[in-house]
Amino acid sequence: MNYKTTETTGVKNKKIQNNGQDKSEDVSQMSEVQTGLAKAKEASFLWRSLSFDARAKHMLAVKRLLIKNLDEVVDTVTAETGKISTEVVVNEVLVVSELISYYAKHAKEILATRKVSSGLLRHKRAEKRYEPLGVIGIISPWNYPLTLSLGPVSTALFAGNTVVLKPSEITPSVGVLIGKLFSQMSEYSDIVQVVTGDGKVGEELVRSGVDKIAFTGSVATGKAVMRAASDSLTPVLLELGGKDPMIVCSDADLDRAANAAVWGAFTNAGQTCMAVERVYVVKEVYDEFVDKVIKATSKVHQGTGGGSDIGAVTHQGQMQIIERHLADALSKGAEVVYGGSKVMVGNRPSLQPTVLVGVDHSMQVMTEETFGPILPIMEVEDVAEALWLANDTPFGLNSSVWTSDTSMADKLVSGLQSGTVCVNDCMVSYAMPALAFGGVKSSGMGRSHGPEGLREFSQLKSVAYDRLGVKKELHWLPLPKSLERSVRLALKMRHG
């Protein structure tokens, strides 16, 4: 593949179509964001005019190109993140490939025009249409740089939009690689524009005039995105942080729950927004559960080569947060029962998979997003206390409950303030492309995946039709003298 980059100079007298009209504009002095937006706008009119089947054909071709270049994809992601290759193949390439396949099959149905009731006005016809928004600005994070870039990019494209993507400045090469995939699409090669840089570039993109912003990242940055977007009333889709709880009941399958906790806490070195970041275990099975977690954690191999189960902490700014949370917990009485040491994984300072006990909500590790390989386990009196503590957080992204009692599971699912709940499993919901994903409270707004995710990138248009063609409606001016009396009678008969 050859690189296709957005040029910031030398693009002159480019025709930009807008509402069916051509404009000639000298963009030689445009910034990278402005140039990318101009190209995406021009490409949008051709892309949105395609049928759903035609868009699906092109998107499936991109998916095949992704798989064809799998080695390059894996090498690029591992080099920039410190992940192990298995994590890239399973948690990134497979997940995003499934999402593309799902929308290729179902986008036409999801966004089909729908007739709705016209209510009392039986002589009218009403329908809902889902139309493209235009150009979507996507700002993606570094922890899953392929999935959390190509996923929203693909969703936006299936809805008929074009995209300007700004990948994290920590993993820019992954974003550029995504741009390479789309640059192979002949006359549609401009539907995805990639701009790189730091937060200033991200802010420029938010303020650039895109038709919607999709941001994945921290709560603090999400708030900054909302503030910047508010100046132009640009709508936003926000997937923000999590502090996802796991509730273990006395009748849970403890072997399965312990193995899930270890995977949910330590995969990708804990750098997952929906990771298991705190565990509440009822006292009857607490000691047994902790023993099983320690045993399972002891089998996890951290490294860079073959045979490794997890890789490194990607971002050293995040490593400082991880160390601070650990130190805070220890200073307040927590105990490390496994791990706890700083290690080098490749050339990246990281933390061993670490299991903490003796924790409570006075500690940052139980109340703030750690985003690292620490698993704090707290003993609780009963399920009621576990539920209360699970909800005692500004976050609400994902959660899991562990019990063999289906009635108890349903009660906990209903009681948890969380965008997603997994029963006797964890994090798996994200791998189900038909299931909407997103958070409540400070974990964000809007949804990705499923029908809801596709409609996030669509404009809902309501249409009303007259079916009779009479010269004058009863309620038009001048008003008939009998109108009020007739409506009063109708009100009593219909609604009284």
- CB-based contacts of 289, cutoff 8 Å, min separation 6: 248, 254, 257, 258, 281, 377
DSSP assignment of 272-340, as one string? -TTSEEEEEEEGGGHHHHHHHHHHHHTT--BSSSTT-SB-----HHHHHHHHHHHHHHHHTT-EEEE--
Sign of the four-CA dihedral 356, 361, 362, 366: positive
DSSP assignment of 227-274, as one string? HHHHTTT--EEEE----EEEEE-TTS-HHHHHHHHHHHHHGGGG--TT
Quote the CA–CA distance of 228 and 224 in Å, as a whole number: 6
Position of tokens 């390989």? 373
Q: Let me know: does 380 contact 281? Beta carbons within 8 Å.
A: yes
Quote the CA–CA distance of 253 and 482 in Å, as a whole number: 72
**Which amino acids are annotated catalytic?**
239, 273
